[in-house]
Amino acid sequence: MAQRHDLGTWVSEEELAAIEGDPPAWLAQSRANRTGKKPVWVRLECDVCGFGESVRPKKWWPQFTFISCEHHSIHDLPDPVDGHVRREFDGIGSRFVGILDEGPEPASRTAEAPVDDTDQPTP
């Protein structure tokens, strides 16, 4: 963005202070678009061998339970907790598989619990 707006590869402290003090419209808009909710870069690290790389996260990535290199077996990772279902996502970074262990779906909040009237006295 800086190159697009004719800022050099190096600016002095005074120039930086001037830009920070009165940012151009494009810089103000760019900063306003930053929500801080999603990181720009994330560090992926294999839970089996420790290999890692920094990548730009994709919007569709869930919060993975495990990350492993694509050449590792799924059996190299701990088994999912009882009642959880394991899903695999290929193509994470340059060589990873994302593993997501999901628990059972919670019961609907709108469903009413059945009434147990077996202990009620008869009229």
Rounded to two decimals, what is the model's pTM?
A: 0.56
Write down how long the chain is. 123
Report d(CA 44, CA 55) in Å as an integer.
7
The CA–CA distances, whole Å, from 58 to 25, 51, 108 equal 28, 20, 30
Domain boundaries, the chain: 3-33, 42-102
Residue type, position 13, single letter: E
Q: What is the pLDDT along the chain (123 residues), one digit of tens a residue?
A: 667 777 778 888 888 888 889 888 888 887 777 776 666 788 999 999 999 999 998 888 999 999 999 999 999 999 998 899 999 999 999 999 999 999 876 544 444 444 455 555 555
